[in-house]
């Protein structure tokens, strides 16, 4: 399902084969702590750009009257539209502590809707092993390795379950990221790269860094 939806956006971008990204998503991040003060889950909210939203609505036969308002039945049919992930897909969300990757579970507890012409969805990713950020900052990164989709972390990250933690959003140096992209593209010597675009998405990754007080 994810591949089919992305193909719609690619068709809309015909004529700009090597131009990336094609889909733009505003990302909200919530870190949820358990009763022991450990980060146990991350809730992600994706708000899609208007063009991609329109393509998905048309593909699914929703909002046929184009009034920007979904009925209860249409909203129910929309839920989970972007949750049928292919095997091995990391969900474009990555968690680390002390630069060590943490394992995130599959998406659960998802929801979706349409607001101001833009589709949004939410889902929960549980940490396989809860961690205490006081033992080392918890970092949540949002990026597509193939840079088909551009993620921007918007709004203040939400921390639920602890009052002694803070969260900051960090953005990469765009000039440095562009240089990495151009160097990767130069290796193709003018050949079409859309089907095998270099994995440069990490260079554009925005991240949330969660810092807490002394370990409990």
Choose the most confident range, by mean pLDDT, from 12-16, 86-90, 202-206: 86-90
Residue 175 pLDDT > 90: no
Confidence of residue 172 (pLDDT cuts 50, 70, 90): confident
Q: What is the mean pLDDT of the chain?
A: 85
Whether the CB-CB separation of 43 and 104 falls below 8 Å is answered with: no
Reported as a single tens digit per residue, the pLDDT across 30-75 is 999 999 999 999 999 999 999 999 999 999 999 988 889 999 999 9
Domain-wise residue ranges, the chain: 2-212
Instruction: Report which of 78, 152, 70 is spatially closest to residue 117, judged by C-alpha positions.
Output: 70
> E strands along 34-143, which residues?
39-48, 93-97, 100-102, 108-115, 118-131, 138-142
């Amino acid at each position: 399902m994810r591949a089919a939806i992305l193909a719609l956006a690619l068709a809309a971008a015909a004529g700009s084969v090597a131009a990336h990204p094609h889909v733009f998503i505003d990302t909200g991040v919530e870190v949820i702590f358990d009763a022991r003060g450990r980060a146990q889950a991350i809730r992600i909210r994706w708000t899609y750009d208007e063009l991609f939203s329109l393509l998905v609505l048309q593909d699914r036969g929703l909002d046929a009257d184009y009034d920007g308002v979904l009925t209860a039945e249409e909203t129910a049919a929309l839920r989970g539209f972007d949750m049928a992930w292919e095997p091995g897909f990391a969900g474009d969300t990555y968690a680390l502590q002390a630069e060590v990757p943490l394992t995130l579970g599959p998406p659960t507890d998802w929801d979706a809707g349409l607001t101001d012409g833009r589709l949004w969805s939410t889902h929960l990713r549980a940490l396989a092993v809860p961690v205490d950020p006081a033992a080392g900052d918890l970092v949540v990164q949002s990026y597509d390795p193939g840079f088909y989709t551009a993620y921007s972390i918007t709004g203040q990250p939400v921390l639920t379950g602890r009052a002694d933690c803070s969260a900051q959003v960090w953005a990469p140096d765009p000039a440095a990221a562009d240089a990495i992209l151009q160097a990767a593209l130069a290796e193709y010597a003018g050949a079409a790269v859309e089907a095998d675009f270099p994995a440069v998405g990490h260079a554009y990754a925005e991240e949330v860094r969660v810092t807490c007080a002394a370990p409990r």
